Amino acid sequence: MLTLAVALLVSPQTVSASTTTGTLAQPTAVEYTADSRLNDADLPTDPVTFDECEQNYTAPGPYWFKNRFNICRTVILQIIYRKLENGVPTEVGRGYFRSTLIGIAQDKESRIRFGLRVKYVTTDGEEISDGHLTFGLECFNNDPQRTSVCDHPAEPVDRTVAEWHAGVDPLYWDATTTTTTVPEEKYKTESRGFFSFDLVESSIFVGPPDVVRQPQEFFRCDSASYATRGSRCVFTSVTPTLVFDLNDPTYHESAAFIKDAQEDLTQINPRLVGKKVPGRSGEQTLTYLHPSYDVGNTKTGSRSKVRRVCKADSGARYTKDANGNARQCDEYPFASTYQNSARVDESTVWSFAAKAIAASHNEAGGRLLASWYGREHMLDGDGFYVVVR
């Protein structure tokens, strides 16, 4: 009689005798940085690849996020081959396979395509070639207050060790989501659904299978009418990051202003001591405010407030520079966030900044921001960072 056992190795890059057992911790929030200047077609239709995953994933992180729409994980599976000798299970060898899982949210759909590539690495000792290795995807509704379904192929893929060793084409599962009932809440009309998935790997030969589950990860899908670009599904453990390029001549002044505000608010209007602005990487995020949820029209109120600051600093003629070129009052945090100047709570450490800059730079920065909101499929209430480099 022969038996198999499956374990995950700690490092995805090396083969060793060390194994990992037990329950893995839930992933924490992850930041990724995408180039804000990418064309509309570059995300999310620039899907993560198996090779890219193997190059970028770093253990022990649960997953590597290429961006908000692409996720991956690669590990070494250790298969322990055993025979019954005198009624005692005895190890006769170990096989090693690289398992690489990718997830690609599909453009303008509530669907994620998951792919799995299994590659043979090596064998120590005897291989039990007629044993079986099985891989299956699990996808669930992660919010019991909602009626949500993640429709995906439930049948796992089963092959013999010999078949996996010889090479099997990558496997793919399509997970399509629907949310039909949501609680009475602010975002009810958007039908936001929250889901989780994992990959189940098992060895089957004699007796009950040995089962290993990859870490659970989470995503959200929606039908918001104002967010029509990007995939309707995003991975929620990652915080998107808007990047401003200091070397971009079209909005350099806006980028420099944001950088100065993030680094030292005492040097930027209204020059507040003991205060800082949110949105800097690793600190408090900014939060997207869609106009349809702007109760009290604070976006307009914020712009009026910062203009008063610019006027107090530069006088009523702040709208023109010495050469007569048009200037505008730039603000940070952006008016299109829940942290705009009209919403500042002066009892906290968080505040705002304003500065008169070239009108063309302010407008170019605004276009960059608006395009980024759409391309990243940002919904009202989504948090994000701003990086200037």
State residue 127's pLDDT score: 94
Report CA-CA distances (Å) from 271 to 265, 308, 314, 340, 383: 6, 14, 14, 17, 26
Q: Give the Cα separation of 44 and 52 in Å (integer).
A: 15
Total-model pTM:
0.88
Q: Give the Cα separation of 303 and 251 in Å (integer).
A: 19
DSSP secondary structure of 5-46: EEEE-S-SS---S--B-SPPPPPPPEE----TT--GGGSSSS
Structure confidence at residue 207 as a pLDDT band (50, 70, 90): low
State residue 208's pLDDT score: 64
Contacts of 289 (CB under 8 A, 6+ apart): 298, 299, 336, 337, 338, 340, 380
pLDDT of 32 over the 50 cut: no
Q: Give the Cα separation of 327 and 321 in Å (integer).
A: 7
Q: Give the Cα separation of 38 and 338 in Å (integer).
A: 26
In tens, the pLDDT along 118-134 reads 999 999 999 999 989 99
Structure confidence at residue 26 as a pLDDT band (50, 70, 90): very low
- Other CB atoms within a 10 A radius of the CB of residue 73 amount to 21
Listed residue (349, 348, 366) closest to 357, CA to CA: 366
Q: Give the Cα separation of 239 and 242 in Å (integer).
A: 10
Question: Which run of H or E residues covers position 120?
Answer: strand 111-125
The DSSP output letter for 107 is B
> What is the identity of the amino acid at 130?
D
DSSP secondary structure of 370-382: HHHHHHTTPPTT-
pLDDT of 322 over the 80 cut: yes
Q: Give the Cα separation of 223 and 270 in Å (integer).
A: 40
pLDDT of 21 over the 80 cut: no
Tokens 């077609």: give the residue. 41
CB–CB of 108/73 below 8 Å?
Answer: no
Average pLDDT over residues 87-93: 85
pLDDT of 48 over the 80 cut: yes
In tens, the pLDDT along 227-278 reads 999 999 999 999 999 999 999 999 999 999 999 999 999 999 898 899 999 9
pLDDT of 60 over the 60 cut: yes
